[in-house]
Amino acid sequence: MKILFSPSEGKNIPTLSSMMSERNAKIYERYLGFIQSSSESEIGKMMGYTKLSEITQALSFITLTPKLSYAIELYSGVAYDALSYTTLQEDEKSWIDDQTLIFSNLFGVVSAKELLPFYKLKQGEGFADFGTKEIYQSQESELDRLLSGEFVLDLRAEFYKKLYMPKEHHFSMEFYKNGKKVSHFGKYYRGIVLRELAKCKGMEGIEQRLEQYGLHSEGSKNSKNCTTLTFCIS
């Protein structure tokens, strides 16, 4: 099974002294090079910041030899708060580490246990000759091979679905309240879903397990090669 998950704009501060993969180190080198040769306004645009204090604070963690964090612990925000990875049992963490792929804005798709540095890159922004879309295009064949034959559950936000879609049949989830599809709160429930998957190591009984959070199954719908499970928020 593979879970496709979104990143978040918010980041925790890494604390590990280790090394990135060669691929990620090269991407970070390009990112750092842009920062070193650009104006504050250019950096702010890339990061999505307008205040000098925000830019300065972010830059204090972006260094030539940065501290690192496992990807699943680097990101903060609504979905990651709901997941609450650090409160899971060790076997549950290991399950997430092995099954979850996070679609980052800078590094492309990374495993939950991949080591990453702190960075800030606004969703949809590029810099110099870098673009998120191009990163995913370069990874497409690799992703196709990785997901081939797997049960895939897509818990990503719509932005990341536009960057890459599984070629084979897969599953996704949508959440509705008062007949309307929710967006911001959808992040929270996607985090809850990943937490419950980790506890039971898979999809069995997921509808029943989500009822404790006020989520009630409304069945499913099919489109192309995707089955979407729909839930109503009470």
Query: Does residue 177 have a pLDDT over 90?
Result: yes
Q: Provide, rounded to the nearest whole percent, the portion of the chain with pLDDT above 90.
A: 94
pLDDT at 118: 98
Position 192 confidence tier, pLDDT thresholds 50, 70, 90? very high
Sketch the domain layout of the chain as residue ranges.
2-233
Q: Which residues contact 234 (CB under 8 A, 6 or more apart)?
A: 214, 215, 216
Long-range contacts of 194-202 (CB under 8 A, 24+ apart): 194/3, 194/5, 194/79, 194/83, 194/96, 194/100, 194/155, 195/82, 195/83, 195/84, 195/88, 197/3, 197/95, 197/99, 197/153, 198/88, 198/92, 198/93, 198/95, 198/96, 199/88, 199/92, 201/95, 202/1
Per-residue model confidence as pLDDT tens digits over 68-112: 999 999 999 999 999 999 999 999 999 999 999 999 999 999 999
Q: What crossing angle do the helices spanning 90-99 and 184-200 adopt, rounded to 10°?
A: 120
Query: Does residue 168 have a pLDDT over 80?
Result: yes
Residue with tokens 């690192």: 68
Prediction pTM value: 0.95
Per-residue model confidence as pLDDT tens digits over 114-158: 999 999 999 999 998 899 999 999 999 999 999 999 999 999 999
> Taking the mean position of all CA atoms in its chain, how far away is CA 12?
14
pLDDT at 185: 84
Position 31 confidence tier, pLDDT thresholds 50, 70, 90? very high
pLDDT at 74: 98
Query: Does residue 184 have a pLDDT over 80?
Result: no
